[in-house]
A and B are shown apart, each in its own frame.
Chain A
Amino acid sequence: MTALIELTGITKVLKGQQQPRTILDGVDLTVQAGESVAIVGRSGSGKSTLLSVLGLFDRADEGSYLLAGQDISRLPERRAAKLRSSHFGFVFQRFFLLKHLTAAQNVSMALVNGQGWLPRRERRARVLQALEQVGIAHLAKNRPARMSGGEQQRVAIARALVRDPMVLLADEPTGALDTETGTAVIDALLAATERGCGLVLVTHDRDHAARMGRTLDLVDGVLTQRVTA
């Protein structure tokens, strides 16, 4: 069976004003469908950079990236956008909800993005379904300003789930939440893996990391398997 994600020798070098700095150094990572992986590491170790390579926000300088067996290391931007829409879902520490849109509109934003057009009725059904999955269908008409942090993050998760992605990428999604709400958010993400979605979670929280299938440690751009005691 081909892996959902297979990174080999991913290297990212930052060419700034000074000397080039290697941020990711030969990262190998395999994620199976339905698997959940936690990535931990010190601040500045390159976790977010790794996620942005995974999510096709950014391109690695070296190494290969296979998605379900397909090489996508050197995709043109147009096809990358298409893949982001159809295969990936993103959740960030900051929720990145648009203030001027309701919860439902924030979710349907991932559907109204020029990547295939859905009729209004179908859009509405899928948005509601996604909001239900994270348990906040009753807040569909609320704007972010009138929601708690946990509710806002769940709207963001619904937005990530609405296209039925193959991969969920979460960058410290509980970073801005208290423990209890954070746990609920992790629950919502794990629920998605039960439907066969791969999950990569960047977190500083040991308890959340422990709930994932395995935990990897990123140290100065090098990814190592954490040996759990």
Chain B
Amino acid sequence: MRRLSGRFRSALIIGLQGIRARKMRTLLSMVSLFLGVLAVVVVQAGASIADKALLSDIELASAVDGTTIIGMPMEPKATDIVLDTVDGRTDAVAMLGLTAMIGEPNVTPVNPGAAPFDEDWGGGVVCYGTGPCEPADTLPKGQAVEVRLTAMTGDVRPFRPLRPRTGQWLEFGTVPAMAPRLVVNREAAKGFERYKVPAEMRIGGATANITPQFVGVVDDGDIQPRAYVRLDELATWLPSAGVADPNSGGEMQVLVAPGSPVEQVLTTKLKAIGSETWVQTVDTKKEMESQLKLLRLVFLAMASLVLLIGVAGILNVGLATVGERVEEFALRRAVGTPRMLLAGIVLAETLLTGLFTAAVAIGLSAAGLRAVSVLFGDSEPFLKDLQFPWEAGIAGIIAGLVAGILGGFIPALRAAGIPIATVMRA
């Protein structure tokens, strides 16, 4: 054990001496390896980031794999059947989509049609507390924000893992509050921050203006401003006919956990009243995952090819230097350096070179990622807060080590085989 650690240290010391003595050679080896290692790191990092971004966005925007989504138009009868069926269940949740105006009354909102705040979708409709809606353009612009409003019969998060940002998520176990509690998505939060609108909400069909309480912000992957609310808290303000009014731009979705009878029951009941339904089971993630895996493999294969060319380079440089260092190796053997250690020294040099290259490649990729994140983070939200994935770091180190071993192995064998007697004769 002590002898081993002594040899290990010797190999490192001598290897480092060799690297320092031949900086140019080391630099050339690093240059030849660099692109390959960089390619591996970038592919791995890109794939990891894409994986995470895409997969979680898919989950966020549609639903967790296995969930069945039943969609239907919001008609009074259908609404009653749906609410009746999912009432008190945890394996299904109904979501009613409405449009709400928050802010000053009788104005065109800053984002007609609940458009994202940095885009202009034009048009839109504004509805009054008393019922009728008008094209928004006829009204003067004012301090109001239009949002999509999702009213839920239960907690949607087991089906769609919305990410809390600040504040709280809705509580479904408590007694409904008179002032409906709202959780808004990030786009809506942005709007409220930008336009200081009064906290007054109008919904098509509502009996009066509602004063909501804002309790939190979530990330839901939606580009439109949206607010989430407990249906029972909203219902106080809406006659059920109002909830079901198709004129208010409504849509309805039921998310059903795998294996739940709700799907069967609901589709049968809705068919009986002649209502149209769309049923879809989510399996995008699995599909995406296998596609991404394939893509990653293809890219990694290409990166490995580049790496292999780098290995050829390091091998070339390594063999040339062994030739040039015949005397040194013979001398080292003469003073008692075992062949194994000699091979170890050569390997240590290429391994260290590989590791240095990996360190540079990883450092550059991480810095590049940071730069991209800072430069484009504002326009592309998924680029914001990008972390350098540790998988990419590991992949880079492995690539560097493998390249070092591949490129150093043959030179190491050559070095170990140098005969002392022929070199040292005078």
User: A residues within 8 Å of B by Cβ?
Assistant: 48-49, 52, 55, 57-58, 77-78, 81-86, 90, 92-94, 96, 98-101, 105, 109-110, 112-117, 159, 171-172, 175
- B333 interfacial by beta-carbon distance below 8 Å: yes
Please judge, given known A-B contacts A52-B421, A84-B336, A114-B337, whether A100 and B21 are in contact too, CB under 8 Å.
Answer: yes
Question: Which B residues lie at the A interface, using CB under 8 A?
Answer: 2-3, 5-7, 9-11, 13-14, 17-18, 20-22, 327-328, 331-339, 341, 419-421, 424-426
Give the Cβ gap from A83 to chain B, nearest Cβ, in Å. Answer: 8
The complex places the Cα of A101 from the Cα of B5 at a distance, in Å, of 23
Known: A113-B332, A114-B10, A117-B5. A48 touches B426 (CB 8 A): yes
Query: Which residues of A have CB within 8 Å of B14?
Result: 112
User: What are 12 A-B contacts defined by CB distance under 8 Å?
Assistant: A52-B420, A55-B334, A57-B424, A84-B333, A90-B334, A96-B331, A96-B424, A101-B17, A109-B332, A114-B338, A117-B9, A175-B426
Q: Is the CB of A109 within 8 A of B426?
A: no
Of A52, A96, A109, the contact of B327 (CB 8 Å cutoff): A96
Cα-based distance from A195 to B425 in the complex (angstroms)? 27
Q: Is the CB of B339 within 8 A of A81?
A: yes
Q: Give the distance in Å from the alpha carbon of A175 to the alpha carbon of B426 in the complex.
A: 9
Residues of chain A contacted by B11 (CB below 8 angstroms): 114
Q: Are B425 and A81 neighbours in the complex by a CB distance under 8 Å?
A: no
Name B's interface SS. Answer: helix
Q: How far is the CB of B340 from chain A (nearest CB, A)?
A: 8
How many whole Å from A144's CB to the nearest CB in chain B?
A: 12
Residue B338 contacts which of A48, A81, A94, A99 (CB distance < 8 angstroms)? A81
* Residue of A52, A86, A98, A100 touching B331 (CB-CB under 8 A): A98
Assembly CA distance A96 to B335 (angstroms): 12
Q: Which of these, A57, A94, A100, A172, contacts B421 with CB under 8 Å?
A: A57
- Inter-subunit contact B420/A98 (CB<8 Å): no
Give the shortest distance, in Å, between B223 (CB) and chain A (any CB). Answer: 62
Number of A-B pairs, beta carbon distance below 8 Å: 98
Given contacts A52-B421, A113-B341, A117-B6, is CB(A86)–CB(B336) below 8 Å? yes
* CB closest residue in chain A, given B420: A57
Interface of A is mostly: loop
Closest to B4 in A: A114
Cβ–Cβ contact B13 & A58, under 8 A: no
Q: A114-B341, A117-B2 are in contact. Are A84 and B335 (CB under 8 A)?
A: yes
Q: In the complex, are the beta carbons of A105 and B17 less than 8 A apart? A: yes
Given A117-B6, A117-B10, CB of A110 within 8 Å of CB of B426: no
Contact indicator B328/A98 (Cβ below 8 Å): yes
Contact of B336 among A94, A98, A115 (CB under 8 A): A115
* Interchain CB contact (< 8 A) of B335 among A49, A101, A110, A175: A110
Indicate if the CB atoms of A100 and B17 lie closer than 8 Å. Answer: yes
Closest Cβ of chain A to B11, distance in Å, is 8
Q: Which of B10, B21, B328, B424 lies at the interface centre, i.e. has the most chain A CB atoms within 10 A of its CB?
A: B424
